[in-house]
Amino acid sequence: MNNTTFSPKASEIERKWYVIDADGKVVGRLAQEVAKLLKGKHKPTYSTHMDMGDFVIVINTDKMILTGKKATDKLYTNFTGYIGNMKYTMAKDMKSEDILMHAVRGMLPKNSLGRDMLKKLRVYAGNEHEQQAQKPEVYEF
């Protein structure tokens, strides 16, 4: 009996394209599902040290829901590194695409692997996307 641990090779990874409609979805729960697909945790061959994930297209982000008073109270900070140069942006002043990207980025690993995973995410405010040639599957949750 073979007692070795299965570790997939980079050439054996099969990547699919998924499209998710964000209409009426809560931002955090949507970001959680997107991060799961980008990491590849839905696959039985998931491995933490490899990028196993699929490509994800999110449409209709302008119809996402921010629960509670997040639209008026939530602040996004950006620090350039210079003294006194902390920038604050309220959620209502940001584009919906940026809000989702920020939420998903926070759920991915904070290293080069996470940056590679984030490159497989496409976010659109409207109903149209540019990846029809990849024939994406509709992902429901």
Q: Which two tokens stand for residue 88?
A: 């604050």
User: By the 8 A CB rule, do 84 and 72 touch?
Assistant: no
Bridge partner list, 18: 56, 137
Q: What is the pLDDT of residue 55?
A: 98
pLDDT surpasses 90 at 84:
yes
- From residue 141, give the alpha-carbon distance in Å to each of 6, 34, 90, 130: 29, 11, 29, 23
| Residue 86 host element (H or E) | strand 86-90
Task: Tell me the per-residue pLDDT of 24-80, one tens digit each, with 9 for 90 and over.
Answer: 999 999 999 999 999 999 999 999 999 999 999 999 999 999 999 999 999 999 999
pTM for the model = 0.91
| The two structure tokens encoding residue 129 | 């996307």
Alpha helices for the chain (secondary structure H): 27-39, 70-73, 96-107, 112-118
In CATH, what is the architecture of 15-66+96-128? Alpha-Beta Complex (3.90)
Which residues, in sequence order, are bridge partners of residue 78? Answer: 87
38, 108 contact by CB (below 8 A): yes
Strand pairing category for 75-79 and 86-90: antiparallel
Domain ranges of the chain: 15-66+96-128
**Can you read off the two tokens belonging to residue 126?**
């409207």
